[in-house]
Amino acid sequence: MQPVDFTTLIAICAELRAQWLPARLEQVYQRDRFTIAVALRTLKKRVWLDISWHPQAARICIGYPPPRTPDTFTFSEQLRHQLGGLALIAIADVAPWERVLDFQFAKRPGEKPLWHLYVEVMTKYSNVILTTSDNLVVTCAHQVSSQQSSVRQIQTGQPYELPPSLTNPIPSLEETQARWQERVSLIPGPLWRNLVKNYCGLSKALVQPMISTVGLDYEKSTDSLTASEWQDLFQLWQQWLKMLENLDFQPGWTATGYTVTGWGAIESVETVQELLNRYYTEQLNQQEFKQLHHQISQKLNVLTAKLQLKADTFTERLQQSDGADFLRSQADLLMANLQEWQPGLKIISLGDFETGEPVAIKLDPEKNAVQNAQSLYKKHQKLKRARIAVEPLLGEVQAEIDYLEQVEAFLSQLDSYQSPEDLETLTDIRDELIQQGYLNAPEHHQDRQKDTEFYRFQTPSGFELLVGRNNRQNDLLSFRVAGDYDLWFHTQEIPGSHVLLRLDAGAVPDEVDLQFVADMSAFYSRARQSEMVPVIYTKPKFVYKPKGAKPGMVVYKHEQVLWGKPESAKTHIGKLIEI
C-alpha cells in the first residue's frame, strides 16, 4: 500500500487551507481503531474529514459520511468533549519537511488557539495527539511508554515533544546541480535508492516516477549516468521543488497507485482529497476482505470438521442399533426352543421362524437358555433406546452441517474483492455467524442497521430477478419480499441462494425466462463449477421455514425441476442493475 509522503501531505494541506479554513467542528466520529471522521462546517458547506493513524494507510482527506451506528470509542468521545463547537482556525507545519501537522482550534477565528491536535503521518509511527494551548498532552490515539520507546514517550499529562529531528539534508532550490549530483552519486548504487537515502521528504512513490519520466531506469546505478541524464533529472528535481513552493499539484492515478505530481499518471483526478479517499478506501476494503474471508473460511472448516466427526459417531451408533431387531428374534428363537439347549454350549443353531434357515446364536456357557435369552432381550432394549436418543442428535448435527454448508456456498461466491458491496456481503455473513454463536464479536462491534441489497437482474423478457447474497437475505427474500404471483427458485438439495422471479398478476414467463433463472440459480450455488445443476421452482406460498430452523433453511413442496447451466449465467452477470 502506497504511504502518504511529504509531497502528498503538502498537497492535502493546500486544498484544506484553501477550502476549509476557518470551519466549525460539529462532530467527531471514530470509524474504527485507526480513523476518526471530523465534521467541519463553513458558511457554505459541510464535510467529513478523515484523520487516520493506520500503520499502513495513515492519511488526512475528505471522506464519506460515517455509518449511522453508535460510536463506542473513548478517544473520539474525548475529542468531542474538548473540541465540539470550536473553530478550526489553522493547519500549521510544526517543522520544515516534517510529516506532522498542527490543527489549531479556538472559540472563533482571529483568537489564540485553545487546543492543538497534532496529526503525525509517519506510517507505523503515526499518531493523533490532543494538547492544551501550552502543549500538555490531554489524550492521544495511542500512548507510547518508556518500555515501547526509549527515544520519545507520549503520555497524557506530559509535555508534547516533536518527533526526532531529521538527519538527512533538506532539498532546496538554491542547491547547485554539482552539489546535488555529488551527494547523490557519492556512494554508487541504484539511482532511486540513493535519492531517497540522501534527502529527507522523499519516497519511493515520488522518486521512481520522477526517474522514469526522464526516460531512465530507476534501478540504474548512479555511476553509469551520463552528463545529459544528470541534467535532465536535475531539471525535474527542481520542477518538483517549484511545485511544492507554488502549491501546484496534478493528482492522478498511476498503474500501481496514485500521484500528486502528474508523473506516471494514466488518469487525472480533480482533487487530491478524492484521490486519497478512493485509493485508501479501496485498499483497506481489499485488505479487510481478505482477512475476513480467511477468518470465516478457517472457522467454517474447523466447525464442519468437528460436526462431521460427531455425525460419523452418531451414524456408527445407529448402524450398531440396526441389529436390535435381530437380537430380539434370536432371543425369541431361543425361548421357543428351550429343549434344544444343553449345558456348556457356546453356540446353538436353530431354524428361523419364517424361512427355516439355520440361525447361529452365541451363548454364554455359564448361563442357562432363559438367562441367555434375557441377556439378548436386554441388549435389544439398550440398542433400541440408543436409536431413540441418537436419531434426534444426529438430526440436529446434520442440520448444523447443512446450515454451515449453506454459509460456505455464499462464501465461495465471494472468492475475490470486486466492489464495496462484496465487503458488505461478507460483513453480513460475519454478523450472521456472530448472531448464531459460531463467531465471537470483535471489539467495538456494532450490528449493522442496513443489510446489503439483493443482486438484481432482468430476464430476457424484462422480468425482475432477485438473488439473495446470504442466509439473512434468503429469509427476507422468501418470506418478506415474495408475492403471490412470484416464482421461487433454488438448487435441488444443493446449498445456494434463494432466487425470486418477480411477476405481476397474469404474467407468464417464457421458457427462455425460466431457463435464465435456472442458470442464475445454478451459478449462485455451491455447484457453480458443474455443467448441469438441478434447479427446483415453486410458488412462494409452498416454501416453509421449520420451527427453530437457522437462517436460510427452508422446506418446500409442489416443486418442478429445471436444469441450470452455471456457465451460461456468467454472460449475464455483467447486466447487474445498480439499485
pLDDT surpasses 80 at 530:
yes
Q: How far is CA 438 from CA 303, 312, 408, 430, in A?
A: 8, 21, 13, 9
Contact status, residue 468 vs residue 498, Cβ threshold 8 Å: yes
Q: In this predicted model, which residue has the larger pLDDT, 47 or 44?
A: 47
Q: What predicted TM-score, i.e. pTM, was given to this entire model?
A: 0.81
| pLDDT score, position 328 | 81
- Res. 339: pLDDT tops 60: yes
- CB-based burial, 343-369: b 16+ in 10 Å, e otherwise: eeeeebebeeeeeeeebebebeeeeeb
341-356 pLDDT tens trace: 888 888 888 887 878 8
Question: Which of 217-226, 234-243, 281-290, 318-327 is predicted with the least confidence, judged by mean pLDDT?
Answer: 318-327
Domains of the chain: which residue ranges?
A: 6-140, 177-270, 319-399, 455-575
Is residue 518's pLDDT more than 90?
Answer: yes
pLDDT of residue 572: 63
| pLDDT at site 65 | 94
Answer whether 491's CB lies under 8 Å from 554's CB. Answer: no
Which CATH topology does 6-140 take?
ibrinogen binding protein from staphylococcus aureus fold (2.30.310)
Mean pLDDT computed over 173-184: 94
Q: Which of 96-105, 151-160, 302-311, 318-327 has the lowest mean pLDDT?
A: 318-327
pLDDT averaged over every residue in the chain:
90
Average of pLDDT values for 65-86? 92
Asked whether the predicted pLDDT for residue 519 surpasses 50, the reply is yes
The residue-averaged pLDDT of 298-308 equals 94
Per-residue pLDDT, averaged over 523-546, amounts to 93
- Rounded CA separation 537/562 (Å): 8
- Position 174 pLDDT exceeds 70: yes
Work out the pLDDT band at 497, boundaries 50, 70, 90: very high
Q: Work out the pLDDT band at 577, boundaries 50, 70, 90.
A: very low
Instruction: Please name the helix (run of DSSP H) or strand (run of DSSP E) that holds residue 61, with its range, or none.
Output: strand 59-62
Q: For position 506, what pLDDT does the model report?
A: 87
For range 129-143, the mean pLDDT: 94
Task: Decide if 387 contacts 324 (C-beta within 8 A).
Answer: yes
Q: What is the DSSP string of 194-233?
A: HHHHHSTT--HHHHHHHHHHTT--TTSBGGG--HHHHHHH
pLDDT at 576: 45
Q: What is the pLDDT of residue 573?
A: 65
Model confidence at 578, in pLDDT bands (50, 70, 90)? very low
Asked whether residue 45 carries a pLDDT value surpassing 80, the answer given is: yes
Q: What is the pLDDT of residue 111?
A: 93
Alpha helices of 70-176 — where are they, by DSSP H? 74-83
Alpha-carbon span 259 to 269, nearest angstrom: 10
Lowest-pLDDT range of 120-129, 151-160, 209-218, 334-343: 334-343
Average pLDDT over residues 323-328: 74
Lowest mean pLDDT of 56-70, 162-176, 433-447, 499-513, name the range: 433-447
Look at strands 464-467 and 499-501 and give their pairing.
antiparallel
Report yes or no: 102 and 92 within 8 Å, Cβ to Cβ: yes
Helix (H, G, I), strand (E, B) or coil at 339: helix
- Strands of the sheet with 487-491, listed across from one edge: 455-458, 464-467, 499-501, 487-491, 533-538, 560-564
Peptide bond into 22 cis (omega under 30): yes
What is the predicted pLDDT for the residue at 446?
Answer: 65
